[in-house]
Amino acid sequence: MSFELKFLPSGQSFQIQQGSEPEGGIGQPGSLLDLALGLGIDIDHACGGVSACSTCHVVVLEGLSSCNEASDSEEDQLDKAPGLTPQSRLACQCIPSGKQNLLVQIPSWNRNLVREGS
Ligand code: FES
């Protein structure tokens, strides 16, 4: 089984094969952060993927219902995230089941280009 993982605003899209997911080695195994880093997509992760910051905040525009529920500690960190939306998640804690394709918006403050330019 596989699903499509697409990132905005770059529009880069990847087919994720379950059982041989890319691994960035940071965040929960199989989380959006783990997958993204394994795919060469940079998402900020100041705390190292342990739900102790909110820099890995992403917005799951499509496929959110196929992801795990946010834990209390994730909710607590998200409350501190700028630009919070009902579809916001911490990329290091959000694990898609693969039952739906995912469309993930990386907020501008999390993008490398923005960070390097500041
Ligand atoms: S990297 Fe810190 S909460 Fe995800």
Residue 82 is predicted with a pLDDT of: 87
Q: Which residue, judged by its Cα, is nearest atom 3 of ligand 1?
A: 51
- pLDDT at 39 (0 to 100): 97
Pocket lining: 52 vs ligand 1, CB cutoff 6 Å = yes
91 Cα to the center of ligand 1, angstroms: 7
Q: Going from the first residue of the chain to its last (118 residues), give the mean pLDDT of each consecutive group of 10, the final group possibly shorter.
A: 96 95 97 98 95 96 98 95 94 97 88 47
Nearest-angstrom CA–CA distance, 18 and 28: 15
On whether the pTM is more than 0.85, the answer is yes
Q: For residue 118, with 0-12 CB atoms within 10 Å meaning exposed, 13-18 middle and 19 or more buried, which class applies? A: exposed
Atom index in ligand 1 nearest the CA of residue 57 equals 4
- DSSP 8-state symbol, 73: H
CA 64 to chain centre: 11
Instruction: Check pocket membership of 70 for ligand 1, CB cut-off 6 A.
Output: no
Per-residue pLDDT, 100:
97
